[in-house]
Each structure stands twice: as C-alpha cells, then as structure tokens.
Amino acid sequence: MWEKDIPTLQQVFPRPFTAALLKGRGNYVCRFKLREARQQLKLPGLEDDLANLVKRLDEIPTGDVEDLRLPKRLRDAVTSGSHDCLRNDCPDFISCYYERAKLRAEEADIAVVNHALLAYNLVSPFLAPRPVVVVDEAHELERYTVHALCLGMEYATVPQFVNDTVVLRHAADDLRQEAIRLNHSLFTQLAERPSERERRWAVQGELQEGLALADRISRIHETLLRAYPPVPVSDDEDEEGSAENAQHQARITWAVELANTARELAEEPPPDHVRYCEADLSVLGPGSVVLCREPIQVAGFLQEALFDPVKRVICTGATLAAAGSTDSSPFGYFRRQTGAPGEPARAVECVLGSPFDYARQALLYTPNGLVPQYGAGEEEYVLSLGREIWRLLKASRGRAFVLCTSSRRMNELYNLISPHLDYTCYCQGDGLARAELLELFQNDLARDGGAGAVLFATKSFWEGVDIPGAALSLVIIDKLPFFPHRDPVVQYRQQAISDRGGRPFDEMTLPEAILALKQGVGRLIRTETDRGVIAILDSRINTKRYGQQIVASLPRARRTRRIGDARRFFAAEGV
C-alpha cells in the first residue's frame, strides 16, 4: 500500500493530501542506544558497522532499520524496546526517529500503520482518533487484537530484568537470586509438556512459584523507588545525570509491569480467557517456553474500541467472505469474530468479482488418495505426499511455492524432495529473512528453459506475498488448514460455541480453514497475464461434505483430479 497505492492515489486524487507511514518503536534507530553502543563497543567488530551507520543516517534520515538494511546483531544494539526506552525523559527525545515518525503520522491526512500498531493503539492509544479507519486485509484484525490483549512472559525476561545495570546497582543480591531461582523453578515445571509434539498446551490452577516471583519483583520495585533519583535533581543538571535518572525511572516502570504480568499469569485466568504454554520445539529446557494468557474472543472489545466510536470503518480484503456459510451473509463469520455491525442501517456489504479470468488462467488440481495420516500410517502418507509434490514440480519446472500447515511437515518435505530436484530449493527458517527469500526466489527464473526456484514455507508465506509473472506458476498446499484439534485456544473457543448451542466445526473450524486456504491460493494469480496450477493435496476436499463449500469459496478455476491435466496445462503455450 505505502509504496504503490498511496503514490498512485496522490497522482489521481482531485486535491493534494499528505500521508505518513508509522512503524513500531523497534523499527527505528534509537539515538541514545546508538551513542551508548559507540561508547561501550562491547561487541567485537562493531566499531566499523556503527561508524558506517552514522554516515548512512545522513542519507536515510527516517532512521528506519529496514531501509537501512541493518543485520540483526547491529539492529539489536541500536534499537530500543518498551522497557529500555526513556520516552519523554530521553535527552534525544526531540530528535528521536520514532517520535518524529509519530508526529508526522499525527499531522498527516492519512496515517498508514500495520495491523499490530492499529490493535495496540486500540488497547493503549498513542495516536489521536481518526474519523475514518480503513482496515485492509481485515481478516487479520481479530488475530492482532488478541495478540495486543495477550499477556506473555518468557524464561529470559526475569534474568534480563534482574541483571540490568540499574537493578544490579540498587537491588540486594539475595533478592535478585531469589527471583532467578523462582523463575527457573516456574519455567522448569511449565516446560513439562504433555507430549514431545505439543507446541501449545493449557496450564491449570494457581501457580505458586509465579505468585512468589511477582512478590520478589515487587520488592525490587520498592528498592528502586527508594533509590530514586540516583542523581540529585537541580536546575543545572547535566545531560549525563538526566539520562541516568531517566534510565532509573524506566526500570521502575518495567518492575511494575513485570510484577503485574507475573501475578496475573500466576492466578487462575478469568472464565473468558485461556492460559497456555507455547514452546519453541527446536529448543530444550525451560528456555523454550512462553507462558501466555489471552481472551477467547475480542468481538466485544473491538465493538467498543473501534466500531462504535469511529464514524466510518471500512474493512476490505480478498478473504473476508466464506461461501456456503451457515449465516445469511457471507460476512457473518467475520462479523462474529470482530464485533463489526451487521444491521443494514449501520453496515454496507459488498462482494466484488475477481478481475482475473481464473477459468482461463488457472487449473485447480485436487487428486485422490491423499488423506492426512498420523501415527502408524504417517510415514507412508508423507512418502506419497512427497512423490505427488515431486511430480508436480517436475511438470512445472520448479517455479513453485510448497505451502505447508506446519513447520514439521515443511522440513520433512524439504528434506525428502529437494535432493531429487534440479531446481534451486529454499526453505523458510534457513537463516534468511522473509524479504530475502522472496527476492532470491523471484530472481531465480532461468532464461533458458524457463525453470525456476522452489520455496518450502509455512503460514507467513500464505499471505502478503506478491510475485507476478512466470516465477511463480505453481502453488502447492499440503493439506486443508484446519486448526490443530489439541490446541488449547482452539478447544476453549470450540467449547464456548458448544456451550451456547452452536456447532464449532460449521461456525469456526470450517470458515477459518476456508479463509486461510483462500489466502494461500491467492498467491498464484496476481495479474491478468499470470497462469498456473493450484494443487490442494488433501483428498478430503473430494470426498467430504464440506469439500463442496471449500471449492465454492475458491476462485472459479478449471478443476481436475488427474496429474496428466496438470502436465498438459504446463506444456500448453510454454507455461
């Protein structure tokens, strides 16, 4: 939107208008942290990088780390988070890149923010209300609002807090050590997940170690309060003393927030919330776990915070409607999840047809014989799935996305198939950022023979990816994207529907799968000249009752169950 739509609109709009882009605080260089990093030079080899960064800031005055293309190591050293930002007390506040960006957004006719910032602004407003809010890709509104309202704490947070230089200077060693011990004990217990494959699991009961941890952090907070200000305040206070006091005040605020978070997470959650652990399966021990608590639904919150007070809210997106829904309106599921009004007096609904000729441009391939299996039959199923994907990739000469519903399946398929292909293969999570992977993939199209790369990826590549042209001519989806049935958040939401007499599959599971599938399928045809194959390798779409609803929700492409038709499609006209 920012790079294409806004400039186009400025050219055709009858009167001039201003627009500003605002990102989160961590997306901008912090002048205070940059100066500290240059003074401390704790990281070997960082001196030249920092000196080069100072020069480049003259060329890119926004301080945007993405525009500056900062590597993670350097980015971590020169950006601030919510806990170490000194805000109004910072000596660099007036020249702060983030604050300047926020001011530009306040003054602009149009302020462009991402879904995360929009959601956080609804929870804790930092931008003035606007009379009109446009939410593009509005299917993401619920997810980001849940995230903004979610409480979370990871194992590393407490050690980071108690080992902060301000806390080290003022809090007693035995109090800090007690906090470390309780934190380790708490997360060691939480890390005992029900099975090795569980990524998320519910946490029941009151957590005594968590309550004790909150108490110790509160005592540290009291110590920090008694020690404030560390530098006597005077009219001619120097900049260094002012910065030290500001850092101390920031740690006082952090202590309050951390103690409250630990206490709320340790208490039995309210009935409309779910508490769970989420694990990074690639890491062992207590450091792999994050303890979370989130609301089961946010429709009421969004209704009060967004739809009721704002004069006009425009929600757009290619995947807001679910065909075959149990509601009278195709937007019924979206309204239930977000609290958007549905009364004719308050809401206008419109479903526009696609500008693309899918019947001519695309083929939908849904083969038989591929029903997802787990347990005893899983190994044979994965081999069959891999063979089918290999046949499709050979027919398309690469130029494909293999979109998977889990990281485990993505890695299995990549390891199984990539050694047997002559095309460059990329896999999400191999150390490259999303933007870098997409750039490499798009530029890999060979001039001779028309072969191209293959990208194995998961959820983050199902949406927000735009690769027009022949570089992407095949989108493979490994299975229908139904919720993991053992996920505690899913179970709580399903139970809430059942408790009011509803049908969880029809009212939640199926609509969510349809909307996710439409996003994945939508990666293929991006212009009027694109051509390609959509392959959904889950035979339940052919045999189950809900399969017809799913197909009815997808673009009206020609459909086949025969691999030969896919081969002929690619052979025709040199596709």
Q: pLDDT tens digits for 474-521?
A: 999 999 999 888 889 999 999 989 998 999 999 899 999 999 999 999
**107 against 199, higher pLDDT:** 107
User: Which CATH superfamily hosts domain 358-574?
Assistant: P-loop containing nucleotide triphosphate hydrolases (3.40.50.300)
- What's the pLDDT score for residue 243? 82
**Cβ-Cβ contacts under 8 Å for 288 (sequence gap 6 or more):** 155, 191, 279, 280, 281, 282
- What's the pLDDT score for residue 324? 45
- What's the pLDDT score for residue 486? 84
pLDDT above 50: residue 423: yes
pLDDT above 60: residue 235: no
Q: CA nearest 516: which of 403, 412, 427?
A: 403
Quick check: helix, strand or coil at residue 474?
A: strand
* Cβ 21 vs Cβ 2: under 8 Å: yes
Structure tokens at 6: 């806004």
At 36-68, the pLDDT tens digits run 888 875 556 677 888 889 999 999 999 999 899
pLDDT above 90: residue 316: yes
Helices within 478-571 (DSSP H only): 488-499, 504, 510-521, 540-543, 546-553, 563-571
Rounded to the nearest 5 percent, the helix, strand and coil shares of the chain are 50, 10, 40
- What's the pLDDT score for residue 237? 54
- Angle between helical axes of 141-149 and 115-123 (0-180°, round to 10): 50
Residue 409 binned pLDDT confidence (cut-offs 50, 70, 90): very high
Residue 1 binned pLDDT confidence (cut-offs 50, 70, 90): confident
* Cβ 36 vs Cβ 244: under 8 Å: no
Q: CA nearest 563: which of 388, 402, 416?
A: 388
- What's the pLDDT score for residue 106? 96
**136 against 2, higher pLDDT:** 136
Buried b (16+ CB within 10 A) or exposed e, 124-145: eeeeeeeeebebebbbbbbebb
pTM: 0.87
pLDDT above 90: residue 207: yes
Q: Chain-wide mean pLDDT for the chain?
A: 90
Domain with CATH 3.40.50.300 in the chain: 358-574
Quick check: helix, strand or coil at residue 133?
A: strand
At 270-308, the pLDDT tens digits run 999 999 999 887 777 888 899 999 999 999 999 999 999
